[in-house]
Amino acid sequence: MISEQYKKFLSYVIYQVYPRSFNDTNGDGIGDINGVIEKLDYLKELGVNAIWLCPCYKSPNDDNGYDIADYRDIMDEFGTLDDVKRLISEMHKRDMKLIMDLVPNHTSSEHEWFKQSRMSKDNPYSDYYYWFDEPQNDWQSCFCGSAWEYDEQRGQYYLHSYAPSQPDLNWENPKVVKEIQDVVDFWVDLGVDGFRCDVIDQISKDWERNLNCFGPQLHDHIHALFGRDKVRHIFTVGECWAGDIDEIVRHSAYERGELSTLFQFDHLACGCTTKFRKKPESLKSVRDIIAKWQTLNQERDLIHALFTDNHDNGRFISRMGNDGELRYESATCLAAMFYLLRGVPFIYQGQEFGLTNSHHHSIDEFDDIESVNIYKYFCESMTPEEAIDKINFGSRDNPRRPMSWTAGKNGGFSDAEPWMPLHSRYKEINLETDRNSEKSVFNFYREILKIRRENDAILYGDFEVISKQEDGNFVFTRTYEGKRFIVICNFEDESEISVETSGKIILSNYGRDAVSGTYRPYEVAIIEE
C-alpha cells in the first residue's frame, strides 16, 4: 500500500543544478539564478518536474556555497532574493517544485553567529558552536587535517568536520535547533517545496562512541525540523550514510515525521577502492546493490532515491560504464537501469547528454577544496603525474565544470571567460551536438521519463529481478494492477537473453524489435506487456 503523500513524491523527477556552473546570464562567467529560470522550459521538455538547487546563499565560497554566511540571503554573484522568488513563481507556473539545499551541520566562519561566538565565552552566541579548551578526540576533517582548530580570539578550540572555515553548529544547544527551524520556515513561507539536507547524520555527535555522526539526538533533531505540521507536506532527502534497512526506516518511514527519503551510497563505492583510486568492477555489483535496496525499500514502503551522479563524485559513466566508443549505449543503459525502478529519480546536470569525466594536466585547472588538498597529500608519496591522474578520476570538479550547452564559445555557458576551465571534451560532448545526433542521449532520457510519467506500473509497480547473479545483465519487471513491464539491460559483452513474453518493445537503444536473442554491450530493451 502506497500512501497518497508517497504517490505524490514518486511522481517527482528531480534535476540537480549546480548553480555556479549551470548558465550565466549576466556575463560575469558565473552561473546565476536567472540562468536557471532561462532553462526551465528546457528542463520541462526533458521531463523533469523538480529541481534540487545546490546552495545559492551568501557565502565566501571556500566550499562553493556549503559554507553559508547568511541562510536568508543570496550570493551576490548568483542574484538576489527577488530572483529566487521569481524562480519559485516561474517553477510553480510550470507545475515544477523547488528543493533547496539545507546545510544544518555547519556555517561559514563568516556567519554572524560564529563571528559573535568566537568573541568571548559569555555572549548570546557563545554556545552556538562546539568550543573546548583542548581537542576532544582525534577526529579528522573531511578535507584533510585535524577537525579541531585553535581560535586565537576566543582562546579555545572549535570543531569543524569540513574546512576550518566551516565550524560545526552545536545542536546540543536548543537555540541552534530553533534557528534552523526558523530557516526552514523562512524558505517554506517563500514557497519552496522541499530540502536536500546536507550531511544531516552529523547534526548529532556521538561523543561516547567517538563518532561525529549518528549521535543519540539525531532523530529528535530531524523530527524537530520536519515533523512539525507546518512542514509535514514538504519533500526532504537526507544526505545520510545509513547502512541498514532498519536505520533507513528510522529516518524515512512516513509515520516518523523525519525525512521523505535518503541517499543510499553503496553503489557509489563500486569501481574504486577510495574515491580517488580506480578498481575495475562490473556493473553486476551495482545491479546487486540497487536490486537489494529496491526490494528492501519496497517491502517497507519506503522511497528509494535513484541516482548515479552528483556534485561530489567523478561521473558514474566514466567509472562504471564506457565513456569512449560506447558512450551513448552506456549512458542510456544506466538511465534504464536506474530510472525505471521504483523511487525518485535524480539527474545531475549534463548527465542527460552523457557527460563524462574531464581530463586536465595541472592542479591549477582545479578549484575544489577537497581536490586541491588531497593533491598536496598525494604529492607527498607520488609523482605529480600520478597524483593528477587520481584527481582526474575522482575529483568533484568533474561534474562541476561549466555546462557544455554547445560546442561554441565557452560551451554556450557564458559570454565571458568561465569561473573555471571548461570540460575538456565540451566540443565533442555538449547538448546541441547530442540533440542533433541520431544517437541522442537526451532523446533517450526524454523517452524514459515519458514512459515513467505515463505508466503507473513504472511509478508504483512492484519490482522483481529476473536475471541471475552470474548473468552479465539486469532484467527486471515492474507490475501494477495487472500490467507488467520488462526491462532488459545487458552490460557485459554479447549475451543470449530469452524472456517469455507476448509484449512489445517500446524503447531500445539499438533499434531492436525482437525481444529474445543476442544482446549487444549496453543494449537496452523496454517491453510492455
Interface with ligand NOJ (CB under 6 A): 63, 66, 103, 162, 198-199, 239, 311-312
Smallest gap from Cβ 160 to ligand NOJ, in A, equals 10
Smallest gap from Cβ 317 to ligand NOJ, in A, equals 20
SS3 letters across 280-295: CCCHHHHHHHHHHHHH
DSSP labels, 75-122: -GGG--HHHHHHHHHHHHHTT-EEEEEE--SB--TTSHHHHHHTT-SS
Residues 260, 303: contact at Cβ < 8 Å?
yes
Residue 510 exposed, middle or buried by CB count within 10 Å (0-12, 13-18, 19+): middle
| Set of cell numbers at residue 161 | 568536520
Choice between 239 and 309, CB closer to ligand NOJ: 239
Annotated catalytic residue, options 77, 168, 198, 258: 198
Annotated catalytic residue, options 24, 149, 239, 367: 239
Smallest gap from Cβ 210 to ligand NOJ, in A, equals 21
- Cα gap 430→264, rounded to integer Å: 29
| Set of cell numbers at residue 334 | 544506466
Smallest gap from Cβ 370 to ligand NOJ, in A, equals 7
Choice between 43 and 199, CB closer to ligand NOJ: 199
Of 338, 290, 317, 360, nearest to 448 by C-alpha is 338
Choice between 263 and 476, CB closer to ligand NOJ: 263
What crossing angle do the helices spanning 81-93 and 174-190 adopt, rounded to 10°? Answer: 60
Answer yes or no: 198 catalytic: yes
Answer yes or no: 386 catalytic: no
Smallest gap from Cβ 472 to ligand NOJ, in A, equals 33
Choice between 28 and 312, CB closer to ligand NOJ: 312
Residues 105, 161: contact at Cβ < 8 Å?
yes
Choice between 281 and 312, CB closer to ligand NOJ: 312
| Set of cell numbers at residue 109 | 566562519
Q: How many CB atoms lie within 10 A of CB 185?
A: 14
Smallest gap from Cβ 346 to ligand NOJ, in A, equals 13
Which residue's CB comes closest to ligand NOJ? 66
Of 10, 28, 9, nearest to 19 by C-alpha is 28
Choice between 167 and 271, CB closer to ligand NOJ: 167
User: What are the catalytic residues?
Assistant: 198, 239
